């Protein structure tokens, strides 16, 4: 049987050893989480939509002959510049010249008939006044004069038509511009109204886009469109919507929208490929990455860093919309807030953090 003294000594030694161990052990280091953050900055509301289009003339004019005939000459081709009054194509003139000669001959005969009937009328009037003719003969002379005068007027009109038809054998440009298309070749027999050339008139250029219905319906009223040359973004111009097609393209399902450009630079040539940008949507907000979003009591929230204490806290926010680039927060944030963008799942309120990177 052990005595009480040795047992007491062993207990005292054990307590002394434990006390010595407690005094020499280092304190546990606090749990500091590394996180990536961003500084919130204000941004304009809405999202920017970019579409690809082409530069076209503000006005395209189809040139066509007013009469039919065989085209014997076309003096310009696609890409050529034309001026107002320039003859760009001709028809064979033989038939129209023959028609004009016939009309002139008819007019001369009608005018001779007018002279004859007028002289007869004058004689009958004098004879009637002196009583040497009857009223019936005078009335006949009056009717013949009226018929001859009408026939002369008709012949004059026919000659004017023949002269016009002869002039229509030449196709004349009515404004300055550039040829963008042709519809007939020399030697072809063309019908009235058939397109011979398409002239892009000078003085205005449009950027033409195929716009999806979802974008067209969300666009603001009279927006300003920024148009840049795809191959050289330094060449740019601003414009406003000038025309919206009421019918969608049956193949692409998009609506053609023409944007009139204000003072376009020379680099925006006809046919150039351009990119148009427009801001749609509404309401100011702050854009943050989707990875920064978490939840608190079923509501969207973000972790906010206290820069002085280097600790985090949860703050509820209201999400305006989800964009392809991130999340737009309508309320709950302020300019200058530091938001955790990576590592949000391993945080707890009041936890100390170490910032790995700060971005705007």
Contact yes or no for 255/296 (Cβ under 8 A)? no
Backbone angles phi, psi at 35, to 5 degrees: -140, 155
Supply the mean pLDDT for the chain.
Answer: 85
Please tell me whether residues 189 and 213 are part of one structural domain: no
Helix, strand, coil percent values for the chain (each to nearest 5): 30, 40, 30
Distance CA(97)–CA(269), nearest Å, equals 43
Segments forming the whole domain that contains residue 355: 32-46+284-359
Distance CA(147)–CA(155), nearest Å, equals 12
CB neighbour burial string for 303-317, b if at least 16 within 10 angstroms, e if fewer: bbbeeeeeebbbeeb
Cβ atoms within 10 Å of 7's Cβ, excluding its own: 10
Please tell me whether residues 316 and 215 are part of one structural domain: no
Please tell me whether residues 191 and 135 are part of one structural domain: no
More confident residue, 180 or 11: 180
Backbone angles phi, psi at 112, to 5 degrees: -65, -40
More confident residue, 92 or 40: 92
Token pair of 60, please?
A: 């395209």
In tens, the pLDDT along 165-189 reads: 999 999 999 989 999 999 999 999 9
**What pLDDT, on a 0 to 100 scale, did the predictor assign at position 322?**
72
CATH code of residue 290: 2.40.420.20
Please tell me whether residues 126 and 247 are part of one structural domain: no
Please tell me whether residues 160 and 137 are part of one structural domain: yes
Query: What's the domain count of the chain?
Result: 4
In tens, the pLDDT along 225-269 reads: 999 999 998 999 999 999 999 999 999 899 999 999 988 888 898
Please tell me whether residues 77 and 189 are part of one structural domain: yes
Domain boundary among 280, 306, 329: 280
Please tell me whether residues 176 and 161 are part of one structural domain: no
In tens, the pLDDT along 103-162 reads: 999 999 999 999 999 999 999 999 999 988 899 999 999 999 999 999 999 999 999 999
Query: Does pTM surpass 0.85?
Result: no
Q: Tell me what the mean pLDDT of segment 70-83 comes to.
A: 94
Distance CA(162)–CA(102), nearest Å, equals 9
CATH code of residue 265: 2.40.30.170
Give the up-direction half-sphere exposure of residue 132: CA atoms within 13 A in the CB hemisphere.
Answer: 6
């Amino acid at each position: 049987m052990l005595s009480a003294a040795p047992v007491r000594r062993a207990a005292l030694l054990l307590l002394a050893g434990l006390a010595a161990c407690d005094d020499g052990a280092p304190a546990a280091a606090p749990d500091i989480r590394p996180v990536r953050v961003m500084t919130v900055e204000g941004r304009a509301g809405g999202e920017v939509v970019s579409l690809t289009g082409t530069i076209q003339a503000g006005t395209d004019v189809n040139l066509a002959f007013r009469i039919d005939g065989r085209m014997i000459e076309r003096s310009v081709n696609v890409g050529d510049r034309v001026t107002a009054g320039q003859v760009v194509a001709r028809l064979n003139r033989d038939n129209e010249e023959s028609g004009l000669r016939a009309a002139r001959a008819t007019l001369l005969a009608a005018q001779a008939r007018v002279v004859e009937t007028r002289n007869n009328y004058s004689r009958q009037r004098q004879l009637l006044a002196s009583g040497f003719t009857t009223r019936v003969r005078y009335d006949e002379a009056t009717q013949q004069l009226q018929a001859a005068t009408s026939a002369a007027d008709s012949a004059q009109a026919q000659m004017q038509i023949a002269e016009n038809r002869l002039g229509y054998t030449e196709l004349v440009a009515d404004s300055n511009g550039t040829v963008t298309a042709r519809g007939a070749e020399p030697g072809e027999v063309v019908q009235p109204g058939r397109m011979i050339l398409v002239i892009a008139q000078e003085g205005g250029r449009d950027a033409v886009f195929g716009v999806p219905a979802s974008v067209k319906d969300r666009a603001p009223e009279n927006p300003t469109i920024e148009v840049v040359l795809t191959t050289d973004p330094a060449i740019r111009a601003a414009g406003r919507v000038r025309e919206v097609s009421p019918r969608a393209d049956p193949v692409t399902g998009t609506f053609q929208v023409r944007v009139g450009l204000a003072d376009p630079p020379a680099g925006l040539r006809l046919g150039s490929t351009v990119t148009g940008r427009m801001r749609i949507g509404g309401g100011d907000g702050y854009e943050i990455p989707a990875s920064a979003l978490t939840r608190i009591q079923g509501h969207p929230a973000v972790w906010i860093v206290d820069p002085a204490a280097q600790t985090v806290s949860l703050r509820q926010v209201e999400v305006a919309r989800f964009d392809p680039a991130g999340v737009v927060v309508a309320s709950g944030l302020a300019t200058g807030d530091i938001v955790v963008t990576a590592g949000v799942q391993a945080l707890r309120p009041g936890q100390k953090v170490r910032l790995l990177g700060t971005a705007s």
